Amino acid sequence: MTEQDSSAGGPSIDELRRRYQEERQKRLRPDGMAQYRDLSDEFEDLDRDPFVEPGFTRDPVVEEVTVVIVGGGFAGMLTAVHLAKHGITDVRIVEKAGDFGGTWYWNRYPGCMCDVESYVYLPLLEETGFMPTERYASATEIFGYSKLLARTFDLYPRALFQTDVTGAEWDPESRRWQVTTSRDDRLSARFFVLAGGILHKAKLPGIPGIERYEGKAFHTSRWDYTTTGGSPSEPMDKLADKRVGVIGTGATAVQVVPQLARAVKELYVFQRTPGAVGVRNQRPTDVEWFRSLRPGWQHERIVNFTQAVTGAQPEEDMVADGWTEMMWVDTQKAPGSEEEAEALERADFEAMETIRRRIDEIVEDPGTAEKLKPYWGKHCKRVCFHDEYLPAFNRPNVHLVDTDGRGVDEMSARGPVVDGVEYPVDLIVYASGFEVTTDLHHRLGFDPKGRDGVALSERWAKGAHTLHGVLASGFPNLLLISLVQGGFGTNFSHLLSESAKHVAHIVEACVEQEIVEIEPEESAEDEWLSVLLGVGMGGARYFMSCTPSFYNSEQQAIDQRAARNLTYTGSLLEYVGYLERWRQPLEFAGVKVRREAPVEPGSVATAKGMAPENVVAPRRPGHARRWSP
Interface residues with ligand NDP (CB under 6 A) are 27, 114-116, 199, 205, 207, 247-253, 270, 272-273, 382, 407-408, 431-434, 549-550
Smallest distance from ligand NDP to CB 342, Å: 28
The least distance separating ligand NDP from the CB of residue 185, rounded to whole angstroms, comes to: 31
Calculated CA dihedral for residues 87, 93, 99, 103, nearest 10 degrees: -100
By beta-carbon proximity to ligand NDP, the closer residue of 307 and 549 is 549
Q: Measured from the CB atom, is 210 or 531 closer to ligand NDP?
A: 210
Report in angstroms how near the CB of residue 246 gets to ligand NDP at its nearest: 9
Classify 492 as helix, strand or coil: helix
Query: Alpha-carbon distance 567 to 468, whole Å?
Result: 10
- The Cα 435–Cα 216 span in angstroms is 23
Name residue 434's beta-bridge partners: 202
CA atoms within 13 A on the CB side of 615: 6
Nearest by Cα to 378 from 340, 338, 332, 333: 332
143: CB partners within 8 A, 6+ apart: 99, 101, 104, 105, 108
- The smaller minimum CB distance to ligand NDP, of residues 250 and 520, is found at 250
Whose CA is closest to 314, among 165, 306, 355? Answer: 306
- In terms of DSSP H, where are the helices of 129-168? 139-152
Shortest distance (Å) from residue 447 CB to ligand NDP: 25
Kind of pairing between the strands at 243-247 and 266-271: parallel
Kindly report the number of other CB atoms within 10 A of residue 279's CB atom: 14
Main-chain phi, psi angles of 37, to 5 degrees: -110, 145
> How far, CA to CA in Å, does 538 sit from each of 80, 183, 417, 519, 534?
36, 47, 41, 30, 7
d(CA 431, CA 433): 6
Instruction: Identify which of residues 431 and 572 has a Cβ nearer to ligand NDP in the complex.
Output: 431
Shortest spacing between CB 547 and ligand NDP, in angstroms: 7
* Helix locations, 363-449, DSSP H: 366-371, 389-392, 440-444
The stretches of 338-444 forming alpha helices (DSSP H) are 338-362, 366-371, 389-392, 440-444
In this complex, which beta carbon is closest to ligand NDP, that of residue 110 or of residue 448?
A: 110
Nearest distance from residue 103's CB to ligand NDP, in Å?
8
Shortest CB 128 distance to ligand NDP, Å: 20
Answer whether 562's CB lies under 8 Å from 529's CB: no
Q: Which of 74, 159, 86 is nearest to 123 (CA)?
A: 74
We find the least distance from the C-beta atom of residue 332 to ligand NDP, in angstroms, to be 16
Alpha helices in 513-597 (DSSP H): 522-544, 560-564, 572-583
By C-beta, is 30 or 296 nearer to ligand NDP? 30
**Shortest separation between residue 317's beta carbon and ligand NDP, angstroms:** 20
Q: Smaller CB distance to ligand NDP: residue 466 or 555?
A: 555
CA 45 to chain CA centroid, Å, is: 24
Q: How far is the CB of 546 from ligand NDP (least distance, A)?
A: 11
> Which DSSP state fits 111?
T
Residue 83 or 202 having the CB closest to ligand NDP: 202
Q: Based on CB atoms, which residue is closest to ligand NDP, 115 or 185?
A: 115
What's the closest the beta carbon of residue 19 comes to ligand NDP, in angstroms? 16
Question: Is the CB of 37 or the CB of 594 nearer to ligand NDP?
Answer: 37
Nearer to ligand NDP by C-beta: 408 or 479? 408
CB of 483 to ligand NDP, least distance (A): 11
Q: Which is nearer to ligand NDP, 483 or 591 (CB)?
A: 483
Rounded to a whole number of angstroms, the CA Rg of the chain reads 25
Which residues lie closer than 8 Å to 67 by C-beta, 6 or more apart?
Answer: 79, 83, 88, 90, 91, 92, 189, 190, 191, 192, 193, 507
